[in-house]
Amino acid sequence: MPEIDLAAFAAAHADGTLVIDVREPQEYVGGHVPGARLLPMADVPLRSAELPRRERVLVVCESGNRARSVVGRLRAEGVDALSLRGGTAAWRAAGRPLVTGPRANRG
């Protein structure tokens, strides 16, 4: 599945590219990429129509496995989606900021 490396992800994120986090709510509130919108993997089939078709969408989970699965589905539906290689774990390991709690704020 199409992936994006951490540096490219961080640059796109800084430019305002939509980031969706496909983990479960309890994982999301424990620490997520600033600005990431929560869209649990199980909800993607019901809510994928909410995602833009003319803009790139970045997808993240903890390790990248769920995100890659979601990316495959979204790309089949015409969404230009990419998964962060290494997921939130890679973001955290690089010392990037995480937001705790339910808000999808920019940090």
Residues with catalytic function: 61
DSSP string covering 35-86? TPEE--GGGHHHHGGGS-SSSEEEEE-SSSHHHHHHHHHHHHTT-EEEEETT
Cα gap 97→73, rounded to integer Å = 28
Cα gap 86→24, rounded to integer Å = 17
